[in-house]
Amino acid sequence: MDWFSSLLDASATNSAANYFPIGVQLIFAAGFVAFMIGFSALVGPKRKTADKLEGFTSGISSHGNARQPMAIKYFLIAILFVLFDVEVIFFYPYAVNFRELGWDGFLAVIMFVGFFLTGFVYILKKGALKWED
């Protein structure tokens, strides 16, 4: 009973014993999910018809091969979008704490923008944003 009272003591130092209830809860939750999935697979209806086994096409009849080559430009634009989106995310902490960061923080942001603009100029010089197709 002594270990249980130490778990309930709020002033106790942070130790692995304090995380025991969380671990037990995670184990029970994972077991419950596994049990419910297995139980529904055993008890649930199993009517495999041709319509159910067919791929879903939203009412549009499929044609051609799905593995046809696609222009790499689409993927490049998607990656560049993610890159610029991440750049905006890095500006948020600076915008929140710009007074505390002072001139050192400002110079760090200027360096970040400079490096990023250097990469952007490189992308433009390589012609990554030109559509020839």
User: pLDDT tens-digit profile of 10-19?
Assistant: 555 677 788 8
User: Max Cα separation, the chain?
Assistant: 75
Q: Which of 120, 98, 121, 123 is nearest to 109 (CA)?
A: 98
- pLDDT above 80: residue 67: no
User: So what's the pLDDT on residue 2?
Assistant: 61
Average pLDDT, the chain: 81
Mean pLDDT of 86-91: 81
pLDDT digits (tens, 9 = 90+) for 104-115: 888 988 998 898
pLDDT of residue 8: 60
Q: Domain segments of the chain: what residues?
A: 2-53, 72-126
